[in-house]
């Protein structure tokens, strides 16, 4: 055989590699899919300055001055009053559940104090669990509200000349008054760490049996698909419990993240979340032939989940289509749950929606995994 470079042999090897790439559809999809996902998400969905944030208005008297301030706040683009006639109790429940990012409270004597020329007070309560969400909207409050009130009174020119802005705007940053980033990141890291490890390790459970040639022994056992699935995923629940303990202890001792809520509520949410993850990993393993394919599918799921869940970038800063897509990832709902429990002291009623979403994930993924496993047996 000639050792001189042969173009014919090179073309034959290239043809062989192209055929192999075409046969390995998962790897080929990863090479094309991940760059496209990154391009679309970073180009369209990521926004560090969210606009049109939901807000609730608590105003016993809806006078013309109140309407002028509300209109001015909406015109800034940051505020969207989804609950314009909320009571104080309703507003408290809304901000605890995370349904609104701001609560604007206008006192009942606001109009009378404006007419008398006193200094009226406006209270803005902001959900500061994610400091980056509230910063832009808060920075526009004082000037916009004051100018709107002056225009409504018809004394804008005189006020500008005398620099006498009568409106007093009080901003109360709820749950994270100092705007510490770790309060938002560290609880979210629990979900990210659990997702990365649980899905990846579980996704290799079945493919490891296939690669080692022990799958036949497993299938010859008098066990149902449900029993096999539980035997594969339950050990990883114990691994997840250790990770939860480590992260929670580190969050308290190292980062001093407050824990306001009840521990049983948090542990229940973590258990449902981890259950969804390990079943998802098992489902991925039924679609993979090798451990490398299982790892590739895991990262294919992990990337959009990380970007669209609200962990790295504000969830409300994304367009509607990206928020809708983010709802299909368990991490999105778990982040809402854990931040509400740890930082807001939310109870069972406050986390009912994210908990219900996680339970739906568990049910759907279990059904799909069992169906896919039966097809694998065939």
Kindly tell me if the per-residue pLDDT of 148 is higher than 90: no
Quick one: 74 and 222 in the same domain?
no
Smallest Cα–Cα separation from 315: which of 302, 331, 296, 301? 331
Q: Report whether 291 contacts 207 (CB < 8 A).
A: yes
Quick one: 239 and 99 in the same domain?
no
Q: How far apart are the first and last CA of the chain?
A: 46
Quick one: 69 and 123 in the same domain?
yes
Whether residue 301 lies inside any domain: the answer is: yes
What CATH code is carried by the domain that includes residue 89? 3.40.1710.10
| Mean pLDDT taken over the chain | 82
Look up tokens 């409106």; give the residue: 167
Kindly tell me if the per-residue pLDDT of 266 is higher than 50: yes
Last residue of a domain, one of 174, 195, 230: 174
Q: Which strand (E) or helix (H) includes residue 105?
A: strand 102-105
Last residue of a domain, one of 133, 156, 174: 174
Q: Which strand (E) or helix (H) includes residue 299?
A: helix 291-308
The range of the structural domain enclosing residue 124 comes to 53-174
Quick one: 230 and 280 in the same domain?
yes
Round to whole Å and give the CA distance between 98 and 337.
Answer: 10
Higher pLDDT, 112 or 336: 336
Assigned token pair, 103? 């609560």
Q: What is the pLDDT of residue 238?
A: 85
Q: Summarize pLDDT for 175-213 with one digit per residue, the tens.
A: 988 888 889 899 999 999 999 888 988 888 778 777 776
Quick one: 97 and 221 in the same domain?
no
Quick one: 150 and 188 in the same domain?
no
- Name the pTM for this structure: 0.82
Q: Summarize pLDDT for 60-78 with one digit per residue, the tens.
A: 888 888 888 888 888 888 8
Sign of the torsion angle spanned by Cα atoms 288, 291, 297, 302: positive
Quick one: 151 and 198 in the same domain?
no
The band of 153, judged by pLDDT with boundaries at 50, 70 and 90, is low
> DSSP of 229-261, one letter per residue?
HHHHHHHHHHHHHHHHHHHHHHHHHTS-----S
If one counts the domains in the chain, the total is 2
Q: Which strand (E) or helix (H) includes residue 168?
A: strand 168-174
Alpha helices in 98-155 (DSSP H): 110-116, 131-139, 141-153
Q: What is the pLDDT of residue 350?
A: 92
Identify any residues that bridge with 169 across adjacent strands, giving them in sequence order: 122
Smallest Cα–Cα separation from 91: which of 57, 122, 127? 57
Quick one: 244 and 106 in the same domain?
no
Q: What is the pLDDT of residue 235?
A: 83
Quick one: 74 and 212 in the same domain?
no
Identify any residues that bridge with 122 across adjacent strands, giving them in sequence order: 169
Round to whole Å and give the CA distance between 276 and 366.
Answer: 8
Q: Report whether 244 contacts 305 (CB < 8 A).
A: no
Q: Report whether 271 contacts 234 (CB < 8 A).
A: no
Quick one: 148 and 197 in the same domain?
no
């Amino acid at each position: 055989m000639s050792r001189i470079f042969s173009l014919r042999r090179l073309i034959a090897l290239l043809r062989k590699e192209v055929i192999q790439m075409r046969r390995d559809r998962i790897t080929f999809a990863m090479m094309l899919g991940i760059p496209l996902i990154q391009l679309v998400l970073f180009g369209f969905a990521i926004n560090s300055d969210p606009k049109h944030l939901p807000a609730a208005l608590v105003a016993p008297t809806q006078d013309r001055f109140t309407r002028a301030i509300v209109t001015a706040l909406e015109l800034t683009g940051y505020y969207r009053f989804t609950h314009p006639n909320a009571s104080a109790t309703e507003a408290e429940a809304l901000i605890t559940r995370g349904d609104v990012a701001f609560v604007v409270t206008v006192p009942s004597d606001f109009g009378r104090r404006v007419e008398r020329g006193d200094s009226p007070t406006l209270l803005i309560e902001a959900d500061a669990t994610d400091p980056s969400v509230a910063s832009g909207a808060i920075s526009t409050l004082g000037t916009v509200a004051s100018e709107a009130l002056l225009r409504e009174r018809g004394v804008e020119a005189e006020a500008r000349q005398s620099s006498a802005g009568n409106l007093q705007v009080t901003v109360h940053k709820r749950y994270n008054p100092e705007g510490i980033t770790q309060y938002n990141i560290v609880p979210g890291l629990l979900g990210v760490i659990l997702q990365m490890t649980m899905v990846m390790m579980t996704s290799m459970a079945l493919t490891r049996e296939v690669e080692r040639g022990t799958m036949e022994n497993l299938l010859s056992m008098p066990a149902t698909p449900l029993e096999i699935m539980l035997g594969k995923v339950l050990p990883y629940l114990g691994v997840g419990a250790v990770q939860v303990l480590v992260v929670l202890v580190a969050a308290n001792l190292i980062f001093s993240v407050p824990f306001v809520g009840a521990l049983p509520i948090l542990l229940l949410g973590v258990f449902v979340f981890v259950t969804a993850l390990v079943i998802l990993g098992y489902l991925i393993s039924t679609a993979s032939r090798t451990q490398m394919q299982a790892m590739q599918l895991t990262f294919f799921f992990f990337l959009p989940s990380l970007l669209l869940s609200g962990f790295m970038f504000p969830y409300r800063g994304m367009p509607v289509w990206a928020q809708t897509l983010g709802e299909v990832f368990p991490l999105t709902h778990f982040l809402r749950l854990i931040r509400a429990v740890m930082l807001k002291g939310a109870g069972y009623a406050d986390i009912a929606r994210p908990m219900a979403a996680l339970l739906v994930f568990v049910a759907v993924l279990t059904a799909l995994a069992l169906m896919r496993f039966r097809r694998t047996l065939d």
